[in-house]
Amino acid sequence: MLNKNFNVIYNYINTKHQTKNGVIMQTNMNFVIYSMMFLLSFSLLVQNSFAVEETGDMNILIKYENENKASIDSTILKIYKDSEKIPLREIQVQSNPISITSLPLEHKYKIEVYYNDHFQSVDYYDLKKTNNNFEITVKLPGGIKLGVFYKDGQTPIPKANIFFKTINGKTVGVDETDFNGDTVRFWLPQTIGNDYYNVDVVIDPALKFTYTPLKIQSSLSQDIKIVTEWPKIIDSAISIQVYKDEKTKVSKSDGNFIVQINDKKKIKISESPVSSKGDAVISKIPVGTYAFHIVSKDNGKVIASKKVTLSGSHEPIKIFINNPQLNFDALYCNCIAFRFDDVQDYFLSNAQIQMMKLSGEMNAGLTVGVIGGAIGKDPKLVEVINEQLQTNPRFEIASHTWSHKIITSLSPEEQEKDIKNTDDKIYKVFQVKPHVFIPPENIFNNKTITILKKYGMDMQ
């Protein structure tokens, strides 16, 4: 290429820039020399710009200090080239060893290992060959077993849901305490520096206690006792105030009433008479969520009801008999309820997972419309939905049909089969029965409504 360019210039000189006696003028010669230099430089630049940079592959084996191959669950590699601050690659590890291809040769690479959000190890490698095997060592995990107790520090809490979470809120372990208040032993990667885990203890969707910070030491097995802020039995008196309007409590002239308290199974656990001044008092009741009913002594009719979560310390509980809407606490907050449709395995799951977690943190209402035939195989999505069912009292699952077909395109028999199959699948995966149905494109007919009534469902 360069020789050809040179010949072109030389011929140009001999044919176009000769004097009558065949001698090249000095000014033309200078011009030609500069032209040659420019063309030579340009040709080199063009050739270099199209040169293909050589690359190599790296097979990285992650090992524990004891030389055993490491578990790669929730492991992330960040690959940096030379002294760059932004990762060249960020890889969710799916196999061990992991093959990383097409890395430019003649560079030094920094490899960082993370377990979810937590840093674990770092090493360096000079990539000079096309095929490379490299081992990186991480610390052994540490073992943690929890014992969970009520406020007295002696009474264990059975059947409490336990969620181990990273510093950024990712759930990395779930269990339920036994009758001794104990969990299984979790083996979790170590925490380094300012990293730590959180442990959420949930005994009711509205009752959550967080133990933090939890540090994990490599190879060390620990037993940790968590003492919550909840008493097993609330000994202090809980005051109930019964109102006939927003400002005035009931009196004798309004009738004779009692306060009846039912648990989640609708079993009466306590009751107390309402005084002529509209007051009642209860005590000796376990923490939890209950239905408070105002019942007429004359005919046993329930006049008003309110859902109340008892945690051990309370302002007076106000119940309004003539305006039931005032008995919903949500009326006193700036609340927004959201709805997600088309919830299914893997499809937009990362974005939906983040929104579900955000709604839980904000105590916002959220209804997820689940497609029955496409749910249950995405472990991250299933885990987060189960967690929200346990921790967010305003989170609910709705049926969004089996395959997202327009429900009216099905015969009545097919409609019922579609709704029932979706019902069964949601119960199998999440252990809840949906009470809300969301028809695709909001299209339904009278047969749909009849079937929904049969299965105890409402339309949304």
Q: What is the mean pLDDT of residues 228-246?
A: 92
Q: What is the pLDDT of residues 126-145, one digit of tens each?
A: 999 999 999 999 999 999 99
The reply to whether 266 and 365 lie within a common domain is no
Q: Domain end: 286, 305, 329, which one? A: 329
Residues in CB range of 414: below 8 A, 6 or more apart: none
Q: What is the per-residue pLDDT for 274?
A: 94
Cα R_g (the chain), whole angstroms: 35
The reply to whether 306 and 362 lie within a common domain is no
pLDDT of residue 41 exceeding 70: no
With beta carbons less than 8 A apart as the criterion, state whether 345 and 381 touch.
yes
The reply to whether 129 and 197 lie within a common domain is no
Q: What is the pLDDT of residues 448-460, one digit of tens each?
A: 888 888 887 877 6
Q: How many domains does the chain have?
A: 5
The reply to whether 82 and 165 lie within a common domain is no
Strands 238-243 and 317-320: parallel
The reply to whether 107 and 211 lie within a common domain is no
Residue 420 CA to residue 418 CA, distance in Å, equals 6
Strands 436-437 and 458-459: parallel
Average pLDDT taken over every residue of the chain: 84
pLDDT of residue 46 exceeding 50: no
Residue 112 CA to residue 126 CA, distance in Å, equals 15
Least confident of 28-37, 224-233, 244-253, 275-284: 28-37
* pLDDT band for position 23 (cuts 50, 70, 90): very low
Q: What is the per-residue pLDDT for 36?
A: 58
Residue 282 CA to residue 261 CA, distance in Å, equals 9
Q: Copy the structure tokens of residue 427.
A: 């119960």
Q: Residue 212 sits in which domain range?
A: 142-227
Least confident of 24-33, 186-195, 272-281: 24-33
The reply to whether 87 and 146 lie within a common domain is no
Q: Domain end: 329, 354, 370, which one? A: 329
With beta carbons less than 8 A apart as the criterion, state whether 183 and 162 touch.
yes
Q: What is the per-residue pLDDT for 232?
A: 92
pLDDT of residue 22 exceeding 60: no
Q: What is the per-residue pLDDT for 431?
A: 86
Q: What is the per-residue pLDDT for 30?
A: 56
Name beta bridge partners: 242.
319
Which CATH number does the domain housing residue 266 bear? 2.60.40.10
The reply to whether 204 and 238 lie within a common domain is no
Percentage above 70 pLDDT, the chain = 86
pLDDT of residue 395 exceeding 80: yes
Q: Domain end: 198, 227, 256, which one? A: 227
Q: What is the per-residue pLDDT for 17?
A: 46
Least confident of 9-23, 265-279, 395-409: 9-23
pLDDT of residue 330 exceeding 50: no
The reply to whether 412 and 346 lie within a common domain is yes
With beta carbons less than 8 A apart as the criterion, state whether 350 and 323 touch.
no
Which CATH number does the domain housing residue 448 bear? 3.20.20.370
Q: What is the pLDDT of residues 407-442, one digit of tens each?
A: 888 898 999 999 999 999 999 898 888 888 988 887
The reply to whether 41 and 67 lie within a common domain is no
The reply to whether 303 and 383 lie within a common domain is no
Q: Copy the structure tokens of residue 132.
A: 């490379």
The reply to whether 455 and 344 lie within a common domain is yes
The reply to whether 341 and 406 lie within a common domain is yes
Q: What is the per-residue pLDDT for 40?
A: 53
